[in-house]
Structure 1
Amino acid sequence: MDLSVISEDLAEIEGQISDLFRALSNGFQKLEKVKDPNRRSRQLEELTDKMRECKRLIKNFDRAVKEEEGRTTADTNKMLSDKKQSMIKELNSYVALKKQYASSLDTKRVDLFDGPSEADHDENNVLLAANMSNQQLMDNGNRMMDETDQAIERSKKVVEDTVNVGAETAAALKAQTEQMSRIVNELDSIHFSIKKATKLVKEIGRQVATDRCIMAMLVLIVIGVIAIIIVKIVNPHNKAIRDIPGLAPPAQSNRKLLWDLNET
């Protein structure tokens, strides 16, 4: 195939498919020499993975060919279509060979496309694709692209919903963070107020204690004075308290005595 008339993407895909076909050919040749059933089953699974990858590349090749149709000549388009059909037929030959080995090993668990029913269905699709016209292949490809677009739209919607939920969660977390900051500030203010109130209560307690001491002393003084007055009233001739100012007995009798002496 002349690679100069096709794009680099198509040439790269074709090269990958060719490498896989060579690996499949060598693998099946080696598989014929293997006698151990378990080892043969493992190698057959490896070859099945290569066929699965080859089918995926053929689909990519077909998609790239459709994208290049408007930019290439009719001869080039026909050449690419023939190349695709050739790839499909070669892959079908390996699929049939794989079925033959799988049947001989009685390993129905070995599948080409993830599960027994899905594998048989996909293999039949590959076989039918060889008999489809270009228009049928294009229609089938367009249908698959529509389904892919719908799946992409659904995925975009899921991503959009996820982003919205993430934004709402971030906003809620931000609001909660601000609320926690306000609560911390209020707790700091309350703690400061409690410390200030405690200090004030201590000062008031000290003042009250001092006032109580003063009051106690005044009470003792008043009680002492009252006691002296009572004693003086009860015993006015008590010499122990006659010299106390205001409590000494009246000096009238002494003055009278001095007057009498003057008269004589």
Structure 2
Amino acid sequence: MDPLSAISEELAEIDGQIADVFRALSNGFQKVEKIKDSNRQSRQLEDLTDKMRDCKRLIKEFDKEVKNMERRIDPDTSRMLSEKKQSMIKELNSYVALKKQYATNLENKKVDLFDAPANEYGEQNVLLASGMTNQQLIDNGHQMMDEIDQAIDRAQKVVHETINVGTETAATLKAQTEQMSRIVNELDSIHFSIKKATKLVKEIGRQVATDRCIMGFLVLIVIGVIAIIIVKIVHPNNKDIRDIPGLAPPAMNRKLLWSPY
């Protein structure tokens, strides 16, 4: 029978949940070692970070329940519960340090999940396991859990900022793509208009050339007629030039064969 069950069913239930989380963390880190792809490894570490957050919450609930029972339990039981809680914190810190090590190896995290190095946690745990009083152990544990909570919140903030940057980048690329599409459509329209205008200019040029030929022929005819008129006037008796109607010289008076006079 679990000793905690004899003390409190709630404590025993919380302890069981924490043990389940620790098993999940152990199996999760074993999977991380087998994953070669950095993106998949990063996602696995994020899942483990969520589990560590749940573990931290459960340890706080465990500590709260112990505080509620301080007046009803004897000193030996209180010391046993404090040691139990410190053991939980120590195990959680070991996973925290392991998470930081994997995050450093990936070299794709902007901010480490935990600011304090692993050795610092180890030294603190050694002190916790030595001759500290119960209140010192409790205060130290609270401080460590608060630091873990802050580090996890910072990591979550970095993830959200990364997602926002990705969303903004995708929106910018979409807008630029639409703008390029509109520019291409406008260029096609301009090209079509230029071709149409070129064709129209060619047609007008051919029409003008035809009109010029006709005008040239008319000018030549007019010049020829004027030349004939001038020659006819200057040499009215020149028979080589055909008479032009209306410009022929007046006919001479013919004498009648018979005249009374």
* TM-score between the two structures when normalised by the length of structure 1: 0.54
CA drift at 1:204: 1.3
Once the two structures are TM-superposed, the CA of residue 205 in structure 1 deviates from its matched residue by 0.9
Q: Aligned equivalents of 2:239 and 2:22: distance in 1? A: 142
Q: How far off its partner does 1:231 sit?
A: 2.5
Q: Which deviations, in whole Å up to 9, do the C-alpha atoms of 1:167-217 show, x marking residues without a partner?
A: 544444444344434433433332232223222212211221111011001
Q: Offset of 1:243 from its aligned partner?
A: 4.4
Task: Measure, in 2, the Cα distance between the counterparts of 1:185 and 1:87.
Answer: 66
Change (3 A) 1:70 1:260: same
Map of 1:226 onto structure 2: 226
- 2 CA distance for matches of 1:186 and 1:158? 42
Q: CA deviation at 1:222?
A: 0.9
Counterparts of 1:210 and 1:87, CA distance in 2 = 103
TM-score (norm 2): 0.54
Distance (whole Å) between structure 1 residues aligned to residue 185 and residue 247 of structure 2? 70
* Structure 2 unpaired stretches of 5+: 25-53, 92-99, 102-116
Q: Deviations over 1:21-59 (max 9, x none)?
A: xxxxxxxxxxxxxxxxxxxxxxxxxxxxxxxxxxxxxxx
Tell me, yes or no, if the aligned pair for 2:21 and 2:55 is still in contact at 8 Å: yes
Cα distance in 2 for residues equivalent to 1:173 and 1:214: 62
Pairwise mapping of residues 59-208 of structure 1 onto structure 2 (< 5 A)?
Answer: 64=58, 66-69=60-63, 81=82, 122-131=121-130, 132-208=132-208
Residue identity in the other structure for 2:205: G
Corresponding residue of 2:241 = 241
The 1:199/1:87 distance shift into structure 2, 3 A limit, reads closer
Q: Which amino acid aligns with 1:68?
A: F
Change (3 A) 1:155 1:262: farther
**Comparing both structures, which one devotes a greater share of its residues to helix?**
1
Q: Which letter does structure 2 place at the counterpart of 1:260? A: L
SS of the residue 1:236 aligns to: coil
2:86–2:137 CA contact under 8 A, matched in 1: no
Question: 1:13·1:61 contact (CA, 8 Å) conserved in 2?
Answer: yes
Mapped pair 1:260 → 2:245: no
